[in-house]
Amino acid sequence: MKENKTGMRKSKKAKKDREIATPKEIASRIKNTSEIIVKEIKSNKDPSFTTMQRGKGNVVWDEQKRYLGLGEKTIVRNFLNVAHARKFMQTSMIMAKTNEYLLQNKTASIREIYYELKHTIEGTKENTFEGQGESDPVIVDLEHSVNTIREKLNLHANPKGTLYGNILLKDKMHFNDKFNASKLGRGGWSIMSRIEPEEIELLETDAEYLLVVETEAMFERLIEEGFPKKNKCLLIGVGGQAARGARRLIHRVHNEMEMPVYVFTDGDPYGWYIYSVIKQGSMALAAHSEFMSVPDAKYIGMTLDDVETYKLKNVTENMKEGDIKRAKEMIEYPWFQNKEWKRQLEKALKEKIRIEQQALANRKLDFVATTYLPEKIGKKDFLP
Amino acid sequence: MSKNQEENVSNTSLEQDATKLDLSFKEHSIAEFFKKNKQMLGFYGKVRTLTMIVHEYVTNSLDACEETGTLPNIDVKIDELGNEYYEITVTDNGPGISKENVGKAFGKLLAGTKFHRLIQSRGQQGIGCSGCTMLSQMTTGKASKIITGRKEKKPISLEITIDPKTNEPKITNLKELEKNFVGTAVQAKFKGILYRDSEQGPLEYLKRTAIANPHAQLSFRDPQGQKTIFKRTHDKVPDLPKEIKPHPKGVTVDEIITMVKTTKARTVQSFIMNDFDRTGTKSIQEMKKIINFDLNKDPKKIVWDEAEEIVKAFKAIDFIAPSVDALRPIGEEQINKSLNSIIKPEFLTVLTRKPAVYAGGFPFQIEIAIAYGGESGKVTSDGKKMEIMRFANRVPLPFDAGNCALTHAVQSIDWKRYNIKDAENSPVTVFINFISVHIPYTGAGKQSVADEEEVLEEVRLALMNTGRRAGIYISHKKKEEENQLKRKMFYKYIPEIARALNSITKVNEEEIKSKMEKLVLEKLKLDEAKDAEEMKKLEEIMENDSKSSVNNENKKKGKKK
């Protein structure tokens, strides 16, 4: 962390190899994979494509790194297998197309690459891809096969999430624009789906922590109350479950700006799971935890203790069927095996109530900005 | 119910029984009886009745031709005259009928030449052409028209009805015709019947008749004017079956009552000794111990109860098994020819089993064919289904399939063992001809064979044998098709893959393509070799299967001895 005279901190370069892999390097990995396939073909072998097995069966909790990771199980897909041939073809097409994007410095949404590759196979009535449902999993296969994330294949999904606060960013793909995320109006900056360092550079900030909030409404409330400026913090609204772009940005701000991350969600199993995904990754994207998780993140609230501390009993709601089911699952997760969270989840299952972030308005509209958050952060009253 | 009434009831039912079983007792009322009981004689159901009429005429024609060694050409036409009102015309090239006999053939019930003979014949079902004459006049009030011509004689034309009181033919409009015609043509009108192009309809009936009679040529014109010809595939009239005397083990009470009407014997004793097969003085001695009436009685005076006693005695005494000389199978070669000509299957296997004996006395023989592909199978809205063509002495049995031993035998086969997956829904035709001098029919309709243990077993063995051959062919073919499909599937993806790999690696697209195609072919060759090995194993398993079932068969035979 370097501080200059104005109190602004400069970004620290990402340290890990995988994170700074350039498009050129990713392209060469694709080329490598393809050359192995061609070599197999030339030497009369059934060509194969190897990727990681995904899903519950191959997700492991990495005690040391404190995030969900992918196990060692791989899948080999052979061309000369009736069940694999079509997917083998689709994989080769996605490889060729992403290779092209990388070399031409183009990016595309996963919907666009699907449309670009969809056509009728010559001499048949069969399409190369029958729907995006067929191309999306092939993209995930390739991500795992060349050991990267789709953002580095110059692909992106739909953007979601907003950033606000005193941080200077540079968009290298757009005239090298420099902009401050606190000077774009009250709406802040829409976090793009793809925010790799090759595109968006984090330059400098004076913020002391990053506050992630679940709802857009809370995000707006805090800006209206001038919270980020008064408390020297950055604000990210994730709007429910955090999208890849938002998670990647939280990860990068945390690592590159060496900034603590605090998460503020509704006080229910769904909100706590949002926190859990930001902190230690998700089952579905276990392989990408390295790029996206923030194991040091802390949880502010809402907790069921807040209900008593801040006298909110009259604005609680009953937990729904799905909340109860999720709480029962979460209590078994290895990463919730600490006494604070166990207590919290047991309490939820016992009282069967939930509390929303915005229920704090019951005390007063600005209560969250003037009292709740400053008190909690000041006392470091967090859940791990 | 008073005692009186009770007696009345039992009397009536007794009377009915007597009428049913002893037609010849009251000869003058036969026609009247027919009128009341046409259902019992097979004339029920609108579609079925039409087919039965065609059956009676065609059977008569076939038998007539064969008796004089003529290759049959039979032409059937059906014209629709109104609602459920048809005219049926059947013309053959048989020997023709003399003026004297035409009345017997078409105008007198139960006067057929075969009725009292035990011979492997077609004419054991129904009630013959006279029955049709009767049905025609009953439903339309019209006479049947006959034209018949014999060699070197002028053909005659006439109209015929039956006097229902006397069972005597009434011939009108008898004329000699000034033209050359050898054969018989009959034309009659019927009401209350219905033409259907269905499995039970006359077209299918004629098709099956043609299959079982490769020496016959049949042509058919349906009410819409559509013409179908089933060509002759074999140029030899089958040898006439030998007439044999009935074997005592197989005779029924009503048959005895019928036989005594025409016997030349003067005593019951000589009737039993002369008119039955394998009977002798030893049998008579044994029978005397069982039978309570005098065996010197005039057989023509036998009453129902006495006939029943004779049958019971026959059952109790041992006789030598009947000879199998009278059986006349169609023959594997002939079935092969006719099925190939009419069904045009991709694959066909035919088997004529050796004669066997059922119920301790009746020789019989089974012929089986399994046809696959081509026009095999039943066409339904739900795709092709398995079709079972049942025959008794070459006569198709289109009705009452569910009650028939031949159907039951087919259903009892586990087709999966023979690699015929989902047999019910496959394009398969199973042909079964049951040959015997005495067919154990169930029911008066004479359309289904009774579940005699030996019959079921014979049919099953024949099915296993032919099923094995068919299964080997079908699985070979399926594997081949699968491999073709696989090749196509792999091939279609190759150009896309080659293009993609070329764009990344710059290796020549054509080179990648041809190498990949070679890979596919090599892989399929390997698969084929593997399949062949599996097939070999399968064939061995099935071979052992059929051996063990033959062993079982031998064991059973051994036990009986």
Q: pTM for the complete prediction?
A: 0.59
**Matching fold, domains B19-230 and B248-316:** no
Query: Which residue of A34, A88, A126 is in closest CB contact with B504?
Result: A34
Residues of chain A contacting residue B493, judged by C-beta atoms under 8 Å apart: 79, 85-86, 88-89, 121
Q: Is the pLDDT of residue B557 over 50?
A: no
Q: pLDDT digit string (tens) for B525-556?
A: 888 888 788 777 767 766 665 555 544 444 44
Distances (CA, A) of B551 to B401, B540, B555, B556, B558: 30, 16, 6, 9, 10
In this prediction, residue B363 has a pLDDT band, given cuts at 50, 70 and 90, of confident
Put simply, the answer to whether B493 touches A121 (Cβ < 8 Å) is yes
Q: Which two tokens stand for residue B396?
A: 């198709």
Mean pLDDT of B229-250: 84
Domain boundaries, chain B: 19-230, 248-316, 326-561
Query: Which residue of B492, B504, B512 is in closest CB contact with A96?
Result: B504
Q: Which two tokens stand for residue A8?
A: 């602004």
Closest CA relative to residue B157, chosen from B173, B141, B144, B168:
B173
The answer to whether residues B262 and B370 touch, using CB atoms and an 8 Å cutoff, is no
Backbone angles phi, psi at A237, to 5 degrees: -100, 125
Residue-range domains of chain A with CATH? 21-156 (1.10.10.10), 162-378 (3.40.1360.10)
CA distance B458 to B450: 14
Most A CBs within 10 A among B490, B492, B496, hence the mutation to make, goes to B496
Residue A112 confidence (pLDDT)? 95
CA angle B389, B392, B397 (to 5 degrees): 45
- Is domain B326-561 annotated with CATH 3.30.230.10? yes
Residue B26 confidence (pLDDT)? 43
In this prediction, residue B125 has a pLDDT band, given cuts at 50, 70 and 90, of very low
* CATH code linked to domain B19-230: 3.30.565.10
Beta-carbon contacts of A153 under 8 Å, excluding residues fewer than 6 positions away, are A26, A98, A101, A102, A139, A142, A143, A146
Minimal C-alpha gap between A138 and chain B (Å): 14
Mean pLDDT of B350-372: 88
The answer to whether residues A84 and A93 touch, using CB atoms and an 8 Å cutoff, is no
Residue B35 confidence (pLDDT)? 65
In this prediction, residue B131 has a pLDDT band, given cuts at 50, 70 and 90, of confident
How high is the ipTM of this complex?
A: 0.81
Residue B548 confidence (pLDDT)? 55
Q: Is the pLDDT of residue B434 over 90?
A: yes
Residue B108 confidence (pLDDT)? 79
Question: Who wins on pLDDT, A217 or B277?
Answer: A217
Residue B233 confidence (pLDDT)? 93
Q: Is the pLDDT of residue B324 over 80?
A: no
Mean pLDDT of B79-102: 94
Minimal C-alpha gap between B503 and chain A (Å): 6
Catalytic residues of A: 115
Residue B91 confidence (pLDDT)? 97
Q: Which two tokens stand for residue A372?
A: 């709740």
Q: Under CATH, to which class is B248-316 assigned? A: mainly alpha
Per-residue tens of pLDDT for chain A, all 384 residues: 444 555 777 877 655 545 567 888 899 999 999 999 999 999 999 999 999 888 788 888 888 889 988 888 998 999 999 899 999 999 999 999 999 999 998 989 999 999 999 999 998 999 999 999 999 999 999 998 988 888 889 998 888 999 999 999 999 989 999 999 999 999 999 999 888 888 899 999 999 999 999 999 999 999 999 999 999 999 999 999 999 999 999 999 999 999 999 999 999 999 999 999 999 998 888 888 888 999 999 999 899 999 999 999 999 999 999 999 999 999 998 888 899 999 999 999 999 999 999 999 999 999 999 999 999 999 999 999
Put simply, the answer to whether A124 touches B505 (Cβ < 8 Å) is no
Residue B10 confidence (pLDDT)? 38
In this prediction, residue B42 has a pLDDT band, given cuts at 50, 70 and 90, of low
One DSSP character per residue, A291-357 reads HH--TT-EEEE--HHHHHHTT-GGG-EEPPHHHHHHHHHHTTSGGG-SHHHHHHHHHHHHH-EEB-G
Closest CA relative to residue B358, chosen from B551, B556, B552:
B556
Mean pLDDT of B421-439: 89
CB atoms within 10 A of CB A33: 20
CB atoms within 10 A of CB B173: 10
Q: Worst-scoring range by mean pLDDT, A350-354, B23-27, B88-92, B263-267? A: B23-27
